[in-house]
Amino acid sequence: MIPHRYQYIFVLLREEIENPNSIQHYEWVQMKQDMEAMLKQGHMQDIHVLMQEFYEGYLWGRMESRDAWFFIDFLAQRDENIGSWATGRINLMELAKRWIELGDSPKLMSLLTQLGRTGYETDWELLRTTLDEKLRRMEVDGTRNGMKETGYFYCLLHAFTMIMMSAHTREEKAALLELFDGSWGFLRYMYSVMTRTIIGFRFANFASLTNCLTNDRELEPYYHLYHSPLKERFNELCAKGTKKEKLEKAFLKLEQRMKQISSSDELDELCEVLFPEDFRELLNRHRLKSYQELEGEIVHIKEEMNVTVDALNKQVRDLAERLSAAVKASVPIKEIEDELMRFQSREALAIYMQLNVLLIGNTAWQARTLSIRDMILAKQQKEMQMGNAYITAEPGSQVNAFVQQQTNNGIDPNRQIAS
């Protein structure tokens, strides 16, 4: 039971939340001193009960009074039951989204670490699956560079989730959370190169990011952790807009620095927890293609289609030339007719138009050309009645070129073909 003389603290705190700036500075000092006195007297559990009405607004950052938030934070950091209290009440994905809106990643990290070390539980597998997809899509969806970027917050939550779902004991997890909190300055380099998306920095490319790390003497013991995924993803990072020559130069500079320093294994275990093989496999083998890559594939497909169209046009020309040669060699026109009718009407029409050009002065062909054309058109109508797609020529197509060529030669082509 809280002594009566201390109960004023909760009354004033409630008033401050409802009417920001109603408490004077000297009152905050006195309230904090009295709280510390109660903690020394062993009243933490009693304080926890009375603080529950304030915790939700504190965790969601829904307080206009900064002084009230920091006062509650002072107590929450000492409350060993806040994590278990938040279990079932606080959805971490929604919490991250809220602090994304507020643009305050340090506070989100602080909240996560204190929830984690005080027993917060959720469906970690489901949360990890959701976050894996967020990070996998980050290359495609893009992020805003800088501390407020969405990807930055999701990486924070992902790191926390990976620690909490690991097989370590609660004490070991607490130690990993402390490392996580203290080493995020380096871990954001790791998440950047792992996800192939620069997060938490305002750099335009990975050459600049690598140079920045190489120039940071405090992070020298951990260069080896960054070097491995950088080497593994080198070509992909170049494809993300980093000039190969610049990244090669930055990479060599990093390797040269590594030869001159001593490495530390302090963060090795943490990185193994954050980036296990299945996560690396997800990012390496099953990532979605970026817009730039998809655009490149579209260009490639178009090039292949052009090659295919060119090949088909060449076949049409070759067939027409062989049939033309047969006509000139006095092969009966009826046999040429039968040969044409073996094709679908679209191919037959294309070959027929070529033949008209090649045999423009051939008397035998000119005597039969209109009847052959009518036979092809009749076949086309039959195909349409059977449900086949109606064949038209797009503006600028090879067939329209044939039509124009025949028109120029005074030949009346099939007018059912769209121009």
114-123, 315-324, 331-340, 365-374: segment of lowest average pLDDT: 315-324
71-75, 87-91, 395-399: segment of lowest average pLDDT: 395-399
Model confidence at 19, in pLDDT bands (50, 70, 90)?
A: very high
State yes or no: pLDDT of 45 exceeds 90.
yes
What is the per-residue pLDDT for 397?
Answer: 43
CA separation for the pair 193, 45 (Å, rounded): 44
38-47, 188-197, 235-244, 271-280: segment of lowest average pLDDT: 235-244
CA separation for the pair 78, 412 (Å, rounded): 93
Give the tens place of pLDDT for each residue, 156-172.
Answer: 999 999 999 999 999 99
What is the per-residue pLDDT for 296?
Answer: 62
What is the per-residue pLDDT for 284?
Answer: 59
Identity (one letter) of the amino acid at 37? A
Identity (one letter) of the amino acid at 22? S
CA separation for the pair 417, 419 (Å, rounded): 6
CB contact at 8 A, 154 and 135 = yes
State yes or no: pLDDT of 308 exceeds 50.
yes
State yes or no: pLDDT of 413 exceeds 60.
no
Model confidence at 132, in pLDDT bands (50, 70, 90)?
A: confident
What is the per-residue pLDDT for 59?
Answer: 97
CA separation for the pair 275, 187 (Å, rounded): 11
What is the per-residue pLDDT for 162?
Answer: 95
Averaged pLDDT, 272-296: 63
Identity (one letter) of the amino acid at 222? Y
16-30, 127-141, 364-378: segment of lowest average pLDDT: 127-141
Model confidence at 282, in pLDDT bands (50, 70, 90)?
A: low
CA separation for the pair 66, 21 (Å, rounded): 9
The residues spanned by each domain of the chain are 1-79, 84-285, 291-408
What is the per-residue pLDDT for 50?
Answer: 94
- Most confident of the following: 163-167, 377-381, 400-404: 163-167
CB contact at 8 A, 162 and 98 = no
Model confidence at 399, in pLDDT bands (50, 70, 90)?
A: very low
Q: What angle do CA 156, 161, 163 make, to 5 degrees?
A: 100
Averaged pLDDT, 288-295: 51
Residue with the bigger pLDDT between 399 and 233: it is: 233
- Most confident of the following: 276-280, 308-312, 323-327, 368-372: 368-372
Model confidence at 406, in pLDDT bands (50, 70, 90)?
A: very low
State yes or no: pLDDT of 390 exceeds 90.
no
* Whether this model's pTM surpasses 0.85: no
CA separation for the pair 403, 373 (Å, rounded): 13
Give the tens place of pLDDT for each residue, 89-128.
Answer: 999 999 999 999 998 999 999 999 999 999 999 999 999 9
What is the per-residue pLDDT for 305?
Answer: 53
State yes or no: pLDDT of 380 exceeds 50.
yes
Closest listed residue to residue 185, CA positions, set 199, 174, 196, 173:
199
Which CA distances in Å does 109 have to 59, 94, 133, 270, 381? 11, 14, 21, 16, 71
Q: Say what percent of the chain tops pLDDT 70.
A: 79
Q: What is the average pLDDT value for the chain, to the nearest integer?
A: 82
